[in-house]
Amino acid sequence: MSLDVLVIGGGNAALCAALMAREAGASVMLLESAPKEWRGGNSIHTRNLRCMHDAPQDVLQEAYPEEEFWLDLLKVTGGLTNEHLARLTIRASSTCRPWMIKHGVRFQPSLSGTLSLSRTNAFFMGGGKALVNAYYRSAEKLGVQIRYNAAVDRLDIQDGQFKAAYIGDERIEAKACVLAAGGFESNREWLREAWGQNADGEWPADNFLIRGTRFNQGVLIKDMMRHGADMIGDPSQSHCVAIDARAPLYDGGICTRLDCVSLGVVVNKHAERFYDEGEDFWPKRYAIWGRLVAQQPGQIGYSIIDSKAVGRFMPPVFPGIQADSLPELARKLGLDEAAFMQTLNAYNAACRVGTFDHTALDDCHTQGITPAKTHWALPIDTGPFYGYALRPGITFTYLGLKVDERAAVHFGGQPSDNLYVAGEMMAGNVLGKGYTAGVGMSIGTAFGRIAGTEAAKAALNIKDTEKQRAAA
Amino acid sequence: MQQLETLTREARALANGDVVPGSPEAEVARQLQICNACRYCEGFCAVFPAMTRRLSFNAADVHYLANLCHNCGACLHACQYAPPHEFAVNVPQAMAKVRLQTYTDFAWPSALGKLYQRNGLTLSLATAGALAFFMMLTLWLKDTLWRVPASADFYGIFPHNLLVSLFAPVFLFAVLALSLGLRRFWREVTPGRDYEAPVIAAVQGGAALEATHDVLRLKYLDGGHGEGCHNEDDAWTKKRRAFHHATFYGFMLCFAATSVATLYHYLFGWVAPYDLPSLPKILGAVGGVLLLIGTAGLYWLNLRRHPQHGDAAQKPMDRGFIALLFFTSLTGLGLWGARGTAFMPATLALHLGFVMALFLTLPYGKFAHGFFRSAALLKWTIEKRLPSKLKVGDE
C-alpha cells in the first residue's frame, strides 16, 4: 500500500502535522531521527504556548487580544516578521487548545516564579515532554506509523514536487510530505562557519552550549538549499541566552539558566564589567546576554553576587562557587585578583543606594562608572560571595524555508503542490529575530496543523486523480 | 584514613541535619536541586509545590517530601532530565529509596527497623511461624486438623479468651509501635518549625480536613488532571487508584466487622459466629471481597509496573504485604464456607495464622506507608496555608 503523507521530524510541529493528516483520512508515516528515549526534539524542553484570548480561560488570566500579541511580536522581532503569517499564527493560538486537549495534552496554571506569563501563556502540565508523549500516544492509537532512529539524509524532488525521502539507501515514497525536522543549532560545524572567527582569532561558536536536542543537525535545511528552495532568515542568527557554563553540551534545557545577573555584576575573563546588568527586568533581558557573553574574549562571563541576593532569584541548578571574601572568590574563579578587586571596588563605590526593590525598576543605580548599572545596584559587600560562570547557550536558529499561509515550500517564488514545512524549519517567517516566551510552540502548532491538513488534501487529490485516470 | 574522614564527614552532616553524601537522602537532594530550577511538574502533586518553598534540602525536608510522593510516575514520564539524560532525574525512584529509609529510621523500637531492609524474609518467616503455630495449637487442643466439629462455633476450637490473649497484645503492640514511630516522624520532620505556634494553630483545622480528604480519596494518584497515574508506560490509568481504594476500604470494612463483633461480644454478650444479615457479617463479607479484588489488582499492576518506577529492591515488601492481605481475606471468606465441615479446623488455623502474621508485621512492613504518607500530607496542608518565606523572581 502506498503512503499518503510522510512527516519528517518528531517534535511538536511534526506530531501536529501527522495527527491532522491522519484525522483527514490520509495514511501517515512519521520519521523521527532520534531513538525513542530522545524523541520530541526541542519540544521536550518547552513548557508553554503563547495564546491569544479575549476573556479569562481555564489557565489563562484576563485577556490577551490579537492586537497586543501582534505588537509584542512586532517589538521582539524589530519588524522582521510577516504580518499575514504572524496574525494567522496568533489567531490559531486562540483556537488550538481544545484540539490539543483532545489528543491528550493537559494544561496547568503558570508555574511559581512565572507570574508575568499567567496572562499570556498556557503551560503544559508536566511540560513539553508530557505533551510530546501525549501526541505520540494519540498518533499510535490513530494508526500513524512511527519509526525511530530514522534519520532522513536527502529528498528526491522533481520540478518542485516531492517524490521520496532517503534514509541511507532506503527510499520512502509518499504522495505528500511535511518537513518538520528542526533547525541546525546542534550542528557545531555549521555554527562555527556561521559565527566565523573574531578579531582575536577565536571561533566563538566552539564555546557555545546547545540548550536542546543533539539531533537538530539541519541536514534537510542543507538539502533544501541544494534543491534551490526559497530560504528565509540569517544563518548567523540564533536565539542565544547566557546559561551556567557547567551545563551539559546538549539538552541542558530550562534549568541551566541563571537568574541572578541583575542582582549583581557580570565580569569577563579580564575581570571587567561590560554591560548594564540592571537595564531591565531579567525576563526581558536574558535573551541578550547570550550574545553579550559570546562577544567577550573566551566567550565566558562571571555573574558575581553576595549573600543579600540569595533567595531573591530562581534557585540555580548548580551551586555557585562560594567564598568568604572577594579576593578569595577571584582566585577560586581563576580571575586576576587585582583587576577583579579594582572592578568591584569601583562598582561598590559608585552605588547610589535608594530603596531596593527587585520587583520594580528601583532607584538603586551607579554614578560615574562605565558601563553604569541603572537599577538594583547594591554594593557587593556581604559575604559569603558567589560566582557563576556563564556561557552562551543556543536555543534555536532562525534560518529556514519560506512559506505561504498554506505552509507550502517555495521554489523560485512558486509553492510546491505536495511539500510542506512546519516548526523551527520555517519559524523565521514569523519570528525573524528575537523571542518571546512560548511563541515557538504557537508557530509549531499552527503551522504543523496547517501543513498536515494541506499535505493530506494534496495526497487525497493525487489519489483521486489517479483513480479517475485508472477508471478512464 | 579515607574511611575515618568519611565517617567524620557523615557524623558532622548528621549533627547539622544535612544529608549524608552518597545516601538515598543525598540523591533526592541532588535531584530536587535540578527540579527546583525547572518546576514543570508543579501541577502533578504536592511534592513540587512544597519543593518550591525551599532553596536547599536537608535530611528532614527530604524525608518529608519523600513521604508526600505517591510514586504515581507522572514526573518521571514528563521529565526532560530522566535517564538516559546525564542528570538522571528519577524522582519517584529516589523518593521510594528514601521512604524505605524513613520506615527503617523511624521504626520503634529502632533495632527492629532493620526488618524493613529484608522485608521479604521478614514477612515469610512471620507467616511460616504463625501458620505453624496455629496448626500445632489446633493439633494440641483437638488432636486433629481434619474433623467435623461438634458445633459450628470457632470458639469450640479456640476458646474466645485464648484468641483474645493471643491477638490483643500483638495488635496493641503494633498500634503502640506505629504511634511512637509516627510521633517521632512528626516532630523531627517539621516544615512548620519556622512558624509561631499560634500561626500554625490557626490553620490546623482546615488543614486536617483537607489532608483527610486527600488521604481518603488518594487525591495524588489522579495526576493533577483527574485522569489517573502511570503504571506500565506513559499512558494514564485509573486502575491503580481503583484497586488501592478496593484494598483500603476492604481492609477498613474488615476492621469495622471485627470492631463491631467485639462490641457485640462485650456489650451485648452476642457471641460469634454471626450470620447474614448481621452487621459484622455484612461488613466482613463486603470488605473481604473488596480486599480480594483490590489486592489481586494491585499485584497484577505491580507485575506490569514500568521498571523505572520506584525501587525494585522493595518489590518483596510490596508484594509480600499484598499477598498477606489477599490470603487473610481468602481464608477468612473460606472459613465462612468451611463452617461445620471437616475443613473448618485447618481453615481456621490458616486464617488465624495469616491474621497473626499480618498483625506481627504491621509496624515493620508496607502497612506503615499509609501512616507516614498521611502525616506528610497533613504537614503539607498546614504548610501551604502559611506564607512562603522566599521572595524569588516575580512571584
Q: Does A212 touch chain B (CB under 8 A)?
A: no
Instruction: State whether B40 and A126 contact (CB < 8 Å).
Output: yes
Q: Does A255 touch chain B (CB under 8 A)?
A: yes
The pLDDT of residue B308 is above 60:
yes
The per-residue pLDDT for range B332-351, each reduced to its tens digit, is 999 988 888 889 899 999 99
Domain co-membership, B186 together with B49: no
Determine the residue among B30, B40, B222 to mutate to test chain A binding: the one whose Cβ has the most chain A Cβ atoms within 10 Å. B40
- pLDDT recorded at residue B387: 86
For residue B87, is it within any domain?
yes
- The average pLDDT across A216-224 equals 97
Query: Which of B43, B80, B393 lies nearest to residue A313, judging by beta carbons?
Result: B393
Q: What percentage of residues in chain B have a pLDDT greater than 70?
A: 93
Residues of A with CB below 8 A from B33's CB?
315, 317-319
Q: Does A214 touch chain B (CB under 8 A)?
A: no
Between B16 and B111, where is the model more confident? B111
The pLDDT of residue A321 is above 90:
yes
β-pairing verdict for A170-173 and A107-108: unpaired
Architecture of domain A242-393: Alpha-Beta Complex (3.90)
Chain A: nearest CA to B200, how far in angstroms?
Answer: 23
Residue at a domain's end among B107, B142, B163:
B107
The pLDDT of residue B268 is above 60:
yes
Query: Which of B87, B225, B393 lies nearest to residue A314, judging by beta carbons?
Result: B393
Query: Which of B34, B40, B235 lies nearest to residue A317, judging by beta carbons?
Result: B34
Domain co-membership, B133 together with B237: yes
Among chain A residues, the shortest Cα distance to B77 is held by A130
Instruction: State whether B77 and A38 contact (CB < 8 Å).
Output: no
Q: What is the ipTM of this complex?
A: 0.95
Instruction: State whether A137 and B77 contact (CB < 8 Å).
Output: no
User: Which residue range is the domain that position B165 belongs to?
Assistant: 113-381
Q: How far apart are CA B301 and CA A417, in angstroms?
A: 50
The pLDDT of residue B393 is above 80:
no
Domain co-membership, B131 together with B220: yes
Contacts of B33 (CB under 8 A, 6+ apart): A315, A317, A318, A319, B56, B57
- pLDDT recorded at residue B394: 46
Environment class of A152 (CB within 10 Å of its CB; exposed 0-12, middle 13-18, buried 19+): buried
Domain co-membership, B81 together with B146: no
Write the CATH number of the domain with boundaries A5-183+218-236+398-471.
Answer: 3.50.50.60
The pLDDT of residue B108 is above 50:
yes
Closest CA to A436 of A68, A63, A39: A68
pLDDT, mean over chain B: 91
Instruction: State whether A314 and B37 contact (CB < 8 Å).
Output: yes
Domain co-membership, B121 together with B217: yes
Domain co-membership, B225 together with B262: yes
- pLDDT recorded at residue B152: 64
Among chain A residues, the shortest Cα distance to B84 is held by A37
For residue B394, is it within any domain?
no
Q: What percentage of residues in chain A have a pLDDT greater than 90?
A: 91
Determine the residue among A103, A112, A114, A262 to mutate to test chain B binding: the one whose Cβ has the most chain B Cβ atoms within 10 Å. A112
Contacts of A412 (CB under 8 A, 6+ apart): A228, A230
Domain co-membership, B103 together with B149: no
The pLDDT of residue B192 is above 60:
no
Domain co-membership, B212 together with B101: no
DSSP state letter for A257: B
Closest CA to A391 of A308, A318, A305, A342: A318
Instruction: State whether B394 and A114 contact (CB < 8 Å).
Output: yes
Instruction: State whether B34 and A255 contact (CB < 8 Å).
Output: yes
Domain co-membership, B74 together with B123: no
Residues of B with CB below 8 A from A130's CB?
40, 74, 77-78
Contacts of B17 (CB under 8 A, 6+ apart): B58, B59, B60
Domain co-membership, B327 together with B370: yes
Give the three cell numbers for residue B228: 489517573
For residue B214, is it within any domain?
yes
Residues of A with CB below 8 A from B40's CB?
47, 111, 124, 126-128, 130, 254
Q: How confident is the model at residue B16 (pLDDT cuts 50, 70, 90)?
A: low
The per-residue pLDDT for range A46-98, each reduced to its tens digit, is 999 999 999 999 999 999 999 999 999 999 999 999 999 999 999 999 999 99
Domain co-membership, B120 together with B100: no
The pLDDT of residue B8 is above 70:
no
Instruction: State whether B39 and A111 contact (CB < 8 Å).
Output: yes
What value, to the nearest 5°, has the Cα angle with vertex B377 and ends B374 and B383?
145
Instruction: State whether B78 and A127 contact (CB < 8 Å).
Output: yes
Q: Does A313 touch chain B (CB under 8 A)?
A: yes
Q: Which of A38-42, A435-439, B11-15, B273-277 has the lowest mean pLDDT?
A: B11-15
Helices (H), B69-194: 74-77, 91-105, 119-142, 160-188
Phi first, then psi: give them for residue A232, nearest 5 degrees.
Answer: -145, 150
β-pairing verdict for A321-323 and A385-397: antiparallel
**What are the residue ranges spanned by the domains of chain A?**
5-183+218-236+398-471, 242-393
Q: In angstroms, how far apart are the furthest CA atoms of chain A?
A: 89
For residue B391, is it within any domain?
no
The per-residue pLDDT for range A113-169, each reduced to its tens digit, is 887 899 999 999 999 999 999 999 999 999 999 999 999 999 999 999 999 999 999
Residues of A with CB below 8 A from B392's CB?
112-113, 311-315
* 3-state DSSP of A349-413: HHEECCCCCCCCCCCCEECCCCCCCCCCCCCCCCCCEEEEEEEEEEEEECCEECCCCCCEEEECC
Residues of A with CB below 8 A from B42's CB?
108, 111-112
Cell 504511634 appears where? B179
The per-residue pLDDT for range B42-96, each reduced to its tens digit, is 999 999 999 999 999 999 999 999 999 999 999 999 999 999 999 999 999 999 9
Q: Does A38 touch chain B (CB under 8 A)?
A: yes
User: What is the count of structural domains for chain B?
Assistant: 2
Give the three cell numbers for residue A274: 561590560
Residues of B with CB below 8 A from A123's CB?
43
- pLDDT recorded at residue B104: 96
Chain A: nearest CA to B369, how far in angstroms?
Answer: 26
Domain co-membership, B330 together with B200: yes
Instruction: State whether A125 and B43 contact (CB < 8 Å).
Output: yes
* pTM, to two decimals: 0.94
Q: Does A119 touch chain B (CB under 8 A)?
A: no
Instruction: State whether A137 and B235 contact (CB < 8 Å).
Output: yes
Q: How far apart are CA B36 and CA A317, in angstroms?
A: 8
Instruction: State whether B78 and A114 contact (CB < 8 Å).
Output: no
